[in-house]
Amino acid sequence: MPASNHAPARDHGIDAAPDALAVLHAVFGLSGFRGAQEQIVRHVTDGGNCLVLMPTGGGKSLCYQLPSLLREGCGIVVSPLIALMRDQVAGLTEAGVKAAALNSTLSFDEANSVEQRLIAGDLDLLYVAPERLLTPRCLSLLDRAKIALFAIDEAHCVSQWGHDFRPEYIGLSVIAERFAEVPRIALTATADELTRKEITARLGLADAPQFVASFDRPNIKYEIVDKQNAQTQLKAFIRERHAGDAGIVYCLSRAKVEDTAETLNRAGIPALPYHAGLDAAVRARHQDRFLNEDGLVIVATIAFGMGIDKPDVRFVAHLDLPKSIEAYYQETGRAGRDGKPSSAWMAYGLSDIVQQRRMIEESAGADSFKRVSIGKLDALVGLAETTGCRRSRLLGYFGETFAEGKCGNCDNCLSPPLVRDGKVVAQKLLSCVYRIGQRFGAMHLIDVLIGRLNARVKQFGHDRLSVFGIGRELNEKQWRAVLRQLVAMGHLQADSEAFGALKLTESARAVLKGKTVVMLREQTSGRDRPSRTKSKRSDPAPQPASRGTAVDANLLGALRAWRSEVARKRGVPAYVVLHDSTIEGIAASHPSTPEQLRDIPGIGDKKLERYGRELIALVNSADD
């Protein structure tokens, strides 16, 4: 018998387990649980509360969907985004589950009929927007219904320090108070300590166990490059590494979103803009096209992405620095949910730090809030400047130690940067900052260092300073890299209120006196380091489906075309009909009987019934 000491609280799991497996197989077409899913499903099915921390793509949905099916009554899922609800409901309905959603897109009559179904016990799962749930009407409706559990998805939205704070989430504490007997499961992919504490406090989970999965996404390759001309770099990145792939490009401003989308389109890379300034209908259309069509790039502000379930996003590119490691991790996490090799690529420069700092300082928040925000930004800059493994650094931020210390699938592991003693270089730069009065930005500083006798330098008499031209051994690009690293190390600050004027910090003194060791990443004077795309180590991802057999490309094409047609007719995204991994499984193993087809992950009873004949016919005609 398996050890059951891990299961907290009441453990009647021996009975629940076989049922859970049977439902997993029949409804979802899956043959086994992943990681902690089984423990969680048992715990919640037995009536326990818990907090689940799992990375994007880790399989959170099953943790509440299965217990909802196994327990009496309907599972209520609080979910902040309508697009996500719609896709989940479509996917569940496809699998034969009685699922519905209550949100602002429904007409009065539609909402009414969903409510009737809930009261009549005709629903297994009901997705509800938080603000809706909090209305007296909805709460009294829930009083009258039989409820299996409450699942609070994207639970980090409750955190005021977080990047996705939603005031209505605060109100969700009513669930614990009003429905104390009903099990609660809170789920999130954001898991720093502060957020975790806020979730447990606000959702009444102080005594509940926490299930924390590894946050590693081994199939994502992390890469952060020195920003030169971001759009040109982006085009090269897509052409060389991700031609024809679906991807998301994040920019900070609407104007930059529009401009970047246009640039990509002109370069023959099909791209659509997405930002809050676009008409709601246009936005919805662009999102739908991105979800449903193959190989589109969406260029977006952060308004886009939360609740995007698309499994085959092959890359996420950042042209601007996000606010924090949490935001970076969540945004990059939208790549490769299907477990296949994917890229997280970011171009970043000193101006990004200045810009983000300015946004924090100009924000309306309290000083304590600003301090936390600056701390979070600094942590991200540290990640961008690290010479070590990015994955180790990322996981370390979330409190996880990465055993090997080197992942073999990030830029720094694949081509380790040269690191040198940068004492003298750092001293030159810092003393130059001092000599020019801590009133000038990067450009002027570098002009003085390398001895450029331009009008501005003359105007301020900086050509007469002893530091004029003391840095001729490095070129402009190299000085920029040194500067950025000194800012990241905290020896210098770019004052966002004074147009990025550089100022020494307390710690700069020790560097100037030679008491602090400064190790700097060597910047070659030429191009970026060569990008090694398809490195031999870039295949660490779990690759289910293909079973060692080669995928039949013709059959795969036929299956894709069939799927697009079905998706179009049914008005759902293609992956709701069948996942990529499922059609690849079919193209690899050529099932010719319903039993063989049923063995492919992702084919449950309902899908077999609905599509079995057509799929087998497709396989047979490909085999002729």
By CB under 6 A, the count of residues binding ligand ADP is 17
List Cα–Cα distances, 415 to 28, 402, 485, in angstroms: 41, 19, 19
Residue 283 token pair: 């936005």
Beta strands in 262-318 (DSSP E): 271-274, 297-300, 315-318
Q: Which is nearer to ligand ADP, 220 or 257 (CB)?
A: 220
Q: Which is nearer to ligand ADP, 37 or 478 (CB)?
A: 37
Q: Which stretch binds ligand ADP (CB under 6 A): 28-36, 69-77, 265-273, 529-537?
A: 28-36
- Rounded to a whole number of angstroms, the minimum distance from the CB of residue 582 to ligand ADP is 9
Q: Which stretch binds Zn ion (CB under 5 A): 291-299, 336-344, 389-397, 452-460?
A: 389-397
Residue 164 token pair: 């996705």
The CB-side HSE value for 173 (13 A sphere, CA atoms) comes to 12
Q: Which stretch binds ligand ADP (CB under 6 A): 56-64, 117-125, 199-207, 608-616?
A: 56-64
Query: Does the protein bind ligand ADP through residue 33 (CB under 6 A)?
Result: yes
| Near ligand ADP in 60-79, by CB under 6 A | 60-62
For residue 103, the partner it binds in ligand ADP, Zn ion, none, with Cβ less than 5 to 8 A by kind, is: none
Query: Does the protein bind ligand ADP through residue 218 (CB under 6 A)?
Result: no
- Rounded to a whole number of angstroms, the minimum distance from the CB of residue 199 to ligand ADP is 16
Between CA 238 and CA 254 the distance in angstroms is 21
Task: Pick from 114, 313, 354, 413 the residue near Zn ion by CB under 5 A.
Answer: 413
The site string for Zn ion over 450-469 (x = CB under 5 A, - otherwise) reads --------------------
**H-helix segments, 363-421:** 367-385, 390-397, 411-414
Q: Which is nearer to ligand ADP, 59 or 349 (CB)?
A: 59
Cβ count within 10 A of residue 459: 9
> Please, are residues 96 and 605 in contact by the beta-carbon 8 Å criterion?
yes
Query: Does the protein bind Zn ion through residue 52 (CB under 5 A)?
Result: no
**H-helix segments, 97-248:** 108-119, 130-133, 136-144, 167-170, 173-178, 193-202, 230-241
Query: Does the protein bind Zn ion through residue 191 (CB under 5 A)?
Result: no
Query: Does the protein bind ligand ADP through residue 95 (CB under 6 A)?
Result: no
For residue 389, the partner it binds in Zn ion, ligand ADP, none, with Cβ less than 5 to 8 A by kind, is: Zn ion
Secondary structure (3-state) at 342: strand
* Residue of 15, 130, 147, 1 whose CA lies nearest to 68: 147
Q: Which is nearer to ligand ADP, 75 or 273 (CB)?
A: 75
Our CA angle for 616, 622, 624, nearest 5°, is 105
Query: Does the protein bind Zn ion through residue 414 (CB under 5 A)?
Result: no
For residue 413, the partner it binds in Zn ion, ligand ADP, none, with Cβ less than 5 to 8 A by kind, is: Zn ion
Secondary structure (3-state) at 152: strand
Cβ count within 10 A of residue 332: 26
Q: Which is nearer to ligand ADP, 91 or 130 (CB)?
A: 91
Task: Pick from 36, 325, 410, 448 the residue near Zn ion by CB under 5 A.
Answer: 410
Query: Does the protein bind ligand ADP through residue 51 (CB under 6 A)?
Result: no
Task: Pick from 16, 30, 220, 350 the residue near ligand ADP by CB under 6 A.
Answer: 30
| Near ligand ADP in 527-586, by CB under 6 A | 579
Q: Which is nearer to ligand ADP, 83 or 425 (CB)?
A: 83
Q: Which stretch binds ligand ADP (CB under 6 A): 4-12, 55-63, 199-207, 228-236?
A: 55-63
- Rounded to a whole number of angstroms, the minimum distance from the CB of residue 411 to ligand ADP is 25
Between CA 438 and CA 454 the distance in angstroms is 19
Q: What residues contact 242, with CB distance under 8 A and at least 6 apart?
A: 314, 315, 343
Task: Pick from 43, 283, 314, 391 the residue near Zn ion by CB under 5 A.
Answer: 391
List Cα–Cα distances, 132 to 15, 129, 140, 154, in angstroms: 36, 5, 12, 16
Q: What residues contact 402, with CB distance under 8 A and at least 6 apart?
A: 216, 389, 391, 392, 395, 396
| Near ligand ADP in 114-153, by CB under 6 A | none
258: left (phi over 0), alpha (psi -120 to 50) or beta: alpha
Query: Does the protein bind ligand ADP through residue 37 (CB under 6 A)?
Result: yes
For residue 311, the partner it binds in Zn ion, ligand ADP, none, with Cβ less than 5 to 8 A by kind, is: ligand ADP
Query: Does the protein bind Zn ion through residue 395 (CB under 5 A)?
Result: no
> Please, are residues 468 and 322 in contact by the beta-carbon 8 Å criterion?
no
- Rounded to a whole number of angstroms, the minimum distance from the CB of residue 443 to ligand ADP is 43
Between CA 157 and CA 165 the distance in angstroms is 4
Angle in degrees, 0-180, between the axes of helices 82-94 and 605-623, rounded to the nearest 10: 70
Task: Pick from 182, 257, 407, 445 the residue near Zn ion by CB under 5 A.
Answer: 407
Query: Does the protein bind Zn ion through residue 383 (CB under 5 A)?
Result: no
- Rounded to a whole number of angstroms, the minimum distance from the CB of residue 60 to ligand ADP is 3
Between CA 95 and CA 608 the distance in angstroms is 10
Q: Which residues bind Zn ion (CB under 5 A)?
A: 389, 391, 407, 410, 413
Q: Which residues bind ligand ADP (CB under 6 A)?
A: 30, 33-34, 37, 54, 56-62, 309, 311, 337, 579, 601
